[in-house]
Amino acid sequence: MDSFRKIAPPVHSVDKIDFIEPEHRLLPGGTSFFALNGGTQEVVKLDFSFKAGTWYEDSKLESLMATSMISEGTTGKTAREIADRIDFYGAQLNSVPYYDNNYVSLLSLKKHLPHLIPLLAEIIQDASFPENEFEIIRQKRKQRALVDAEKVGLVTQRGFIRSLMGGEHPYAPVATPESYDFVTLEGAKSHYLRHYHSGNATLFASGDVDDDVLKMIEENFGPAWGTPYPFKKDQIQVQSALEKRVFIERENTNQNAITIGKRVPTQHHPDSVGLKLVTTIFGGYFGSRLMSNLREEKGLTYAIHASVVSFVKDAIFMIHAEVTAEKTEEAIREIFYEMQRLRVELVPESELQPLRSFLLGRMLEDFDGPFARAQSFSSLYEAELDVDYFGKIIHAIKTTTPEQIRDLAHLYLDPESMYTVAAGKK
């Protein structure tokens, strides 16, 4: 036994991901339905996606409030009755708002689906928007926003997006908690009626999706429901702030926060995959340049992270960190220093090889189990990307050269092109 402990397990390179595409069908009412059968547990997850995010709202917060109200009552059931039914069967029901799409998901043991799928259909197709529940949720959301307004990390990130995109852009967060005073029940319900209908829905079913589950889905979600509504235009003008440097004062805080970044190409651009590799080297994992410099060498922050945030219509390169107030300017200088270094120096292979292994391993995690595979596929589907995009990522991870990394960094990581928002004490 001891001799085997001295032998390291074999290491296998990731050359491709054998991704089995979900079975696809178009239900009679217009809902696009994907079924991914797999796993060993008798559990099923149903994920509804609606093109109903902030991109499609007429007024700020209507999308968020519409999604929040989905499970707060139907014509035949109160919010309490819905919650009790979900709890009785040990299921999970979630409704989540986002920038481009809003989501409603149900996770349940397969044996309880005959009781829960009709309930899910009732919730999605017949939400009643009771006024008392709306007021409770609006006040809760406003109180949470008041608390968040004192968290410098959230303040910088939201202020950054507002500076970068413009305050009225659909992706931009509201400016103050008082914005909740202006969202109305009528506006939220109108958003629901316009965008929650069978022709605007995509359903992803994953887990133990057998013929019985498929039959229940077709019976409950197959016929047309709701009223189609024309989409708004695909392009909205970005109005970036003239000032690229903003400081937001918050006296009652222990640390300052910094968010730096810019708009970058969407996932359809040929540079997109390579840019994600550059971003990871720069600040996307524990061994990144930013972590090595600002955390390990200089002790300026506990954590700093860089990422590319991809929307359907746009994408943002963003760096975020929290530092002590007196170290704010030093941290910003070091971030720009590491940008400039990546733009002119070649990344050594000794740094690149562990990064390749890290990224390939993380890709495997994205396909670990039917729920993860369904999530990865739905992300591609919503972005209108083909499945071979996964292969392009693997190819880029394994073949991108130090010269290509330097060229991409030179093109996209110019400190002069960055927007910087800091919050806290001066």
* Six-digit token string for 356: 């390749």
Q: Which 3-state string (H, E, C) describes 2-17?
A: HHHHCCCCCCCCCCCC
Sheet holding 315-323, edge to edge: 245-249, 419-424, 256-263, 315-323, 301-310
Mean pLDDT of 312-337: 96
Q: Distance of alpha carbon 179 from its chain centroid, rounded?
A: 23
Segment 373-383, tens digit of pLDDT: 888 888 888 98
Provide the pLDDT confidence category of residue 31 given band limits of 50, 70 and 90: very high
Residue 46 clears pLDDT 80, i.e. is over it:
yes
For residue 199, count other CB atoms closer than 10 A to its CB. Answer: 14
**Can you tell me the distance from the alpha carbon of 254 to that of 252, in angstroms, rounded to the nearest whole number?**
7
Domain ranges of the chain: 23-221, 245-424
CATH H-level, domain 23-221: superfamily: Metalloenzyme, LuxS/M16 peptidase-like (3.30.830.10)
pLDDT attached to residue 15: 61
More confident residue, 221 or 370: 221
Mean pLDDT of 109-130: 97
Segment 140-197, tens digit of pLDDT: 999 999 999 999 999 999 999 999 999 999 999 999 999 999 999 999 999 999 999 9
The strand ranges marked E within 245-291 are 245-249, 256-263
* DSSP string of 180-230, one letter each residue: GGT--HHHHHHHHHHH-SGGGEEEEEEES--HHHHHHHHHHHSS--S---P
Among 377, 355, 350, which Cα is nearest to 276's? 355
Long-range contacts of 74-78 (CB under 8 A, 24+ apart): 74/122, 74/123, 74/126, 74/127, 74/128, 75/126, 75/128, 76/122, 76/126, 77/122, 78/130
pLDDT attached to residue 360: 87
* DSSP string of 337-391, one letter each residue: HHHHHHHHSPPPHHHHHHHHHHHHHHHHHTTSSHHHHHHHHHHHHHTT--TTHHH
Amino acid at 226: G
23-221 and 245-424 share one fold: yes
Distances (CA, A) of 217 to 46, 48, 179, 204, 221: 10, 12, 39, 11, 6
Are 331 and 303 within 8 A, CB to CB?
A: no
Residue 116 clears pLDDT 70, i.e. is over it:
yes
**Can you tell me the distance from the alpha carbon of 168 to that of 322, in angstroms, rounded to the nearest whole number?**
27
Segment 242-283, tens digit of pLDDT: 889 999 998 888 899 999 999 999 999 999 999 999 999 999
Residue 323 clears pLDDT 90, i.e. is over it:
yes
* Best CATH choice for the domain 245-424 from the list 3.10.20.30, 3.30.830.10, 3.40.50.1100, 3.40.50.2300: 3.30.830.10
Q: What average pLDDT does the chain have? A: 92
**Can you tell me the distance from the alpha carbon of 339 to that of 31, in angstroms, rounded to the nearest whole number?**
45
Provide the pLDDT confidence category of residue 371 given band limits of 50, 70 and 90: confident
**Can you tell me the distance from the alpha carbon of 175 to that of 197, in angstroms, rounded to the nearest whole number?**
31
Mean pLDDT of 65-77: 96
Residue 3 clears pLDDT 60, i.e. is over it:
no
pLDDT > 90 fraction of the chain, expressed in percent and rounded:
76
Are 70 and 127 within 8 A, CB to CB?
A: yes
Q: Distance of alpha carbon 217 from its chain centroid, rounded?
A: 26
**Can you tell me the distance from the alpha carbon of 423 to that of 250, in angstroms, rounded to the nearest whole number?**
6
Residue 17 clears pLDDT 80, i.e. is over it:
no
Provide the pLDDT confidence category of residue 38 given band limits of 50, 70 and 90: confident
pLDDT attached to residue 240: 85
Residue 49 clears pLDDT 70, i.e. is over it:
yes
pLDDT attached to residue 130: 97
Among 206, 216, 203, 202, which Cα is nearest to 44's? 206
- Tallying the residues shown for the chain, one arrives at 426
Helix (H, G, I), strand (E, B) or coil at 328: helix
pLDDT attached to residue 280: 94
pLDDT attached to residue 392: 87
pLDDT attached to residue 13: 61
Provide CB contacts within 8 A for 277, sequence distance 6+: 355, 359, 396, 397, 400, 405, 408
Q: Distance of alpha carbon 7 from its chain centroid, rounded?
A: 41
Segment 145-156, tens digit of pLDDT: 999 999 999 999
